[in-house]
Amino acid sequence: MQSKTSTRYLTKLGFEGDFSPTLANLKSLLSLHVQTIPFGNFSSFLGDEVSLEQDQLVQKLLIENREAYCLEHSTFTRIVLTELGYEAYNVLGRVYYQSTPTTSPVRTHLVTLVRIEQQLFLYDPGFGGMTPTTIVSLNNIGETQSTPLEDFRFVDVAQCDLDSAALTEMKYMLQACIHDEWVNIYAINPEQQIATADALIANWYISTSPESLFTQYLMLSTANAEMRITLKDRVLRTHGKGRSDKQVLSSFDDFEHTIKAVFRIDISQQKLKAVWAKLALNP
């Protein structure tokens, strides 16, 4: 039976018709989610509290039409997918995108895994500019899996060209095919279901540490079947099939319009002005 939260979620996403916990509906939900609820970090960038409590997530994502980063997205999706009848749980992964560490990075990327008829699928709307826009199977390790924008695959971590010292307790690496090359995105171990306290510690680090990218930079993204749109500080990028565009937002008016019209985030002008002022301090 659907709860008030899951009913609100379906309404927010624009899901029509009766709902049952099928593989086809799971694919539809993720496609709608990445188009409807943007990735972003206004809260941590401004030093505001980031809550993982269910009522606070409902308020922020479903009522206030705000953005969220991975710990918020995946905590929330685990809750609503469970309410909708799926067997869903969270694991924490290590991020390797655009880096080749020699020691293991902190486990900070939270994802939701869903088991359907003994098969396991990744449901991750929260990896920003490279999040898969549909589910990815963990049952076909090494096989290319097509999505509307890129090809993805999971491989054994032994095949990802990183030292084992950088892959502590990880089992599979998610890779994306970018410019005809397989690129490491993040690694997970699907056997390491986390406790709520594990997510709280990761969330505290991500939202408060001066070393966290989420306190240093503003990062937003949204996606559909045709393109990804990202914003890092004042640089707006659009990546579509066969083309990419870049624009530097030079005025507050352009910035405010982009946030509200492109990313469709409802946030007060006071907070936007505070963000704009902090961005002026970033090189």
Closest CA to 66 of 88, 89, 53, 50: 50
Q: Is the pLDDT of residue 80 over 50?
A: yes
Residues 111 and 122: their CA atoms lie apart, in Å, by 7
Please give the CATH number for the structural domain made up of 212-279.
3.30.2140.10
Q: Which amino acid is at 246?
A: K
Q: Is the pLDDT of residue 1 over 70?
A: no
Q: What is the pTM of this model?
A: 0.96
283 pLDDT band, cuts 50/70/90, is: low
Q: What is the mean pLDDT of residues 73-101?
A: 97
Q: Is the pLDDT of residue 46 over 90?
A: yes
Query: What pLDDT digit, counting tens, does each position of 156-174 carry?
Result: 999 999 999 999 999 999 9
According to DSSP H, which parts of the chain are helical?
Answer: 4-13, 23-36, 42-46, 54-57, 70-83, 196-208, 213-216, 252-257, 269-279
Q: Is the pLDDT of residue 43 over 70?
A: yes
Q: What is the pLDDT of residue 3?
A: 77
2 pLDDT band, cuts 50/70/90, is: low
Q: What is the pLDDT of residue 93?
A: 98
Q: What is the mean pLDDT of residues 123-130?
A: 96
Query: What pLDDT digit, counting tens, does each position of 108-126 carry?
Result: 999 999 999 999 999 999 9
Q: What is the pLDDT of residue 17?
A: 87
Q: Are strands 119-123 and 227-232 parallel, antiparallel or unpaired?
A: unpaired
Q: Are 45 and 278 in contact (CB under 8 A)?
A: yes
Residues 253 and 247: their CA atoms lie apart, in Å, by 14
SS3 of residue 275 by DSSP: helix
Q: Is the pLDDT of residue 30 over 70?
A: yes
Q: What is the pLDDT of residue 218?
A: 98
Percent of the chain at pLDDT > 90 equals 94
281 pLDDT band, cuts 50/70/90, is: confident
